[in-house]
Every structure is written in structure tokens, then in C-alpha cells.
Structure 1
Amino acid sequence: MLNILIVDDDRHILELLTHSLQVEGYRVFEALDGEEASLILAKKQVHLAIVDVMMPHKNGLQLCEEIRKYYDFPVILLTAKDQLVDKEKGFSAGADDYLTKPFEPKELIFRIKALLRRYKMVNSEKIHLNNTVINRKSYEVYCHNKLLLLPMKEFELLSQLASYPDRIFTREELIYLVWGTDFEGDDRTVDVHIKRLRSRFSATDDFHIKTIRGVGYKLEVGKK
């Protein structure tokens, strides 16, 4: 059984999420703030955490940074804020996903299942996309047993997309995740690198990088 930690100072949300997760077969630990969550983490094995951002004593961003420093499991942040700058702070603190209140419990369940599935892939040294293998340790890509040495940013962009198949990334998110907060260019840089990746892998149907008009990109694994 997988253990999920819910951290929120709203008891009604705790009760609602605990019931929804238990129905799905998860074991749930509850905490009303970051400090209480830290005590639970020191004693219990946790496979995923759902963390509210605005909490007393130790807020969600601080707790997320602590989890990233000492543990290795995915974190979903909950917040009433939906501005890009707030999302940037969340991802910078180490969050894996972000859900804005109010939300449907079913959507959270979908995200939990997808994140747990993807997290196994992210933590693997190698990402397999049919006959294409991305080696995150050696920075090599093999496509049908042929070695491809990509420029670093192309490799990091491909790895980011491939680690989360079917997840849509905005251009802004990709800029932050691949180029960092100090990047002074614009999001057209992403378009240029996507175009280069498509050209390099045009001969294979192992995967496709799909444009989501007006939003960004996602990687789809080809069906075999």
C-alpha cells in the first residue's frame, strides 16, 4: 500500500482528500502545518505528499524544499494562487506538480497516479521510448542502436519532455526548467530547439513532440 501525506491547515480539505484517497486504496497521513508534517516524515515512509502553500509555522514552499533536501518522492502543491510567478516559486522549491484551488478530488487522483507512474521513469538513469533510449547519466541518446550526441540544451529539453510523456509544458515552464531563471532570451528559443529535435528524430516513430497551439509542447510515445 502506498502512503500519501496531506498537509493543509483546512480541516475540511483534509477530511475530503483523506476520504477520496482511502477509497482509492492509499494509506493517508494528515498534518495541519509544515512542522507537523516534518515530524511525520521523520517517522513514516511517504511515497507522495500533497502540500498546501499557505500554512502557519512552516509554509508549503519551505516544507517542499525540506522534502527535496532529505527525501525522494513527488510533491503536489495546492494553492489558491494561479499566477505564473507563484508556479515558478513552487517549481523552484522542488514541486513536481501544481494544482490550484478549488479543484475536483478526481483530478487530484488522476494527477497522483500519473505522477507516481512518471516518477519511476524520472528517477531512472535511462528513459526508454520504444527503440530510443535516453541515458541521463552519460548524456547519450541511442536511436535504433545508433548513438546521437545532442547539444546540452537539446538533450535537457528532450529529457524533460520524455520524463513526462503526454504532459503539456508551457514554453515558460520549459524555459525555467531547462534554461533557468537567469535566462535573458525569450520563449522562441524553445521553438528553435524543438524544431531541431524534430529534425534529428524525423526518421523514427518512437515518439513525437506535439505542438499544443497557444500553450506549448508535449511528447507522445509512439504505439508499437
Structure 2
Amino acid sequence: MSSEKILIVDDDKEIIDFMEFNLKSEGYSVLKAYNGKEALQLVEKNEVHLIVLDIMMPELDGMEVCRRVRMTKNIPIIILSAKSSEVDKVVGLSTGADDYIVKPFSNMEFIARIKAQLRRYIYLNDNCKQKSIDSLIMVSGLEINKETFKVKVYEKEINLTKTEYEIVLLMAENPNRVFPLEEIFERVWKEKYFLGNNTVMVHIARIREKIEDNPREPKIIKTVWGVGYKIED
């Protein structure tokens, strides 16, 4: 059984009834609107996954409804029209619609277009969600977004320099692993470490000032004496 909710908008009750019957036969939930104003109200109040939208309607025409929906939503919109010229199709699609069906249309074509748009919409949304999940690191109270380079500690955003960010990211991507000073230096600064270089320790101290409640008793970046530093998961 499909869980997608489809809004059909047309001032012709017979066409509405035809579309509703066929969509429900495929397992879709259906919302109905008979004018543009009512359509916008339903989009505002409901989670709609696709809109089938007639052009010629009272209150607001389909083109204006499409423009307004596109200001806040990226859901698929299929325009219905009795006009079949290439110019009419271009105008319809340029308002933000994803597809254009010419009346009269067969049930087979109608359902095929619906399923194609929903597949594309669901696929793109799932990919975006997965990308967001993959780009987010959460460990030991830290939240690092690798796409935006933002770092939060217990929901509070922290401003780190580029070098500080790279140090924290290195350890957060490898929780529980202890990183010696020389490895941190060589991986972040891309230079050969030399004995007596306290650059890493200075940066760790600065980072702790920003992310720890008590830098003298750190709970996020921990020191492993005689070895280096780590972040535990």
C-alpha cells in the first residue's frame, strides 16, 4: 500500500472523480481542491508528496498556484491542460512544474506519469538525507558537519580556526584512537615534525578553551600521557 499523498486540483468535478478513483486504486491517499486558493491552503496544512494541477481555475489559476508552491516546496507538480502547443508546455514548465499532461488523457498515461515523478522525488530525497547523515559526525558531545564546517558542542556552535577544525576532525573521525603529537602535526600541517615542537600542544590548549567546560579537566579531548591525544566515543 502506497503512503504518498497526492493533491488533485481542478474545477471540473468529473475529472477530479476520475483521477481520485484511479489514484486510490493504486493505493495513494488523495486530497481534492476545486480552486487555486483551496489548493494552497491544503498544501500549507498537509504533507503533500505530489500535486496534479489544472491551469484554468477560479480564485487563482494553476500557473500562479505553481509559482507560489515553488517558493517554499520542492514537491513534484504535474500540470493538466487542454492546450497542447509547445509554447503552452514551455510556459507551464517554466513556472516550476515537473511535467505537463494534455487533456484528455488515458488512465495508463496518468498513472505512469505519477509514478515516474514520485520515484524521482523519493530517490532524490533519500539521497539528500543519506548525504546529510554521511556528512555529520557525532561523538562525545561534539557534532561536526563536514559540508558546512560547523562544529557544535552540546548543541552550542563553536568557532574554530581552520587548523583547530582539522585537529578536532582528525580525532573525531577516529574515535578512541590515540594520536601522537608528531602524527597530528604531520597530518594537519603537512610538514615533518621535529623534536621539541610544541605547536600541537598550544593548539590543543586553545581548542579545549573553546569546547571544554573545564579545560583543566577535559572530557572531550583527553590526554594519554606519554603518547598523545584522543576523543572517545
Q: Give the TM-score taking structure 2 as reference length.
A: 0.52
Could you say what secondary structure the match of 1:70 adopts? coil
In structure 1, the residue matched to 2:83 is: 81
In structure 1, the residue matched to 2:6 is: 4
Aligned length: 127
Could you say what secondary structure the match of 2:27 adopts? coil
* Distance across 1 between alignment mates of 2:103 and 2:124: 27
* Higher-Rg member (1/2): 2
Matched, 1:51 2:33: no
Could you say what secondary structure the match of 2:71 adopts? helix
Could you say what secondary structure the match of 2:57 adopts? coil
In structure 1, the residue matched to 2:21 is: 19
> Which segments of structure 1 move beyond 4 Å, counting only runs of 4 or more?
121-125
Q: Give the TM-score taking structure 1 as reference length.
A: 0.54
Matched, 1:95 2:97: yes
Give, as a single letter, the amino acid of the residue that structure 2 aligns with 1:102: P
In structure 2, the residue matched to 1:112 is: 114
* Distance across 1 between alignment mates of 2:44 and 2:51: 14
In structure 2, the residue matched to 1:67 is: 69
Give, as a single letter, the amino acid of the residue that structure 1 aligns with 2:98: D
Gaps in structure 2 of 5+ consecutive residues: 129-146, 148-233
What is the CA distance between 1:122 and its match in structure 2? 4.7
* Distance across 2 between alignment mates of 1:79 and 1:38: 19
Give, as a single letter, the amino acid of the residue that structure 2 aligns with 1:41: V
* Distance across 1 between alignment mates of 2:33 and 2:8: 6
What is the CA distance between 1:39 and its match in structure 2? 1.0
Report 1:95-174 matches (<5 A): 95-122=97-124, 124=127
Give, as a single letter, the amino acid of the residue that structure 2 aligns with 1:119: Y
In structure 1, the residue matched to 2:43 is: 41
Gaps in structure 1 of 5+ consecutive residues: 126-136, 138-224
Q: Deviations over 1:62-90 (max 9, x none)?
A: 11111111112100000000111111111
Give, as a single letter, the amino acid of the residue that structure 2 aligns with 1:14: I
RMSD between aligned residues: 1.8
Give, as a single letter, the amino acid of the residue that structure 1 aligns with 2:70: R
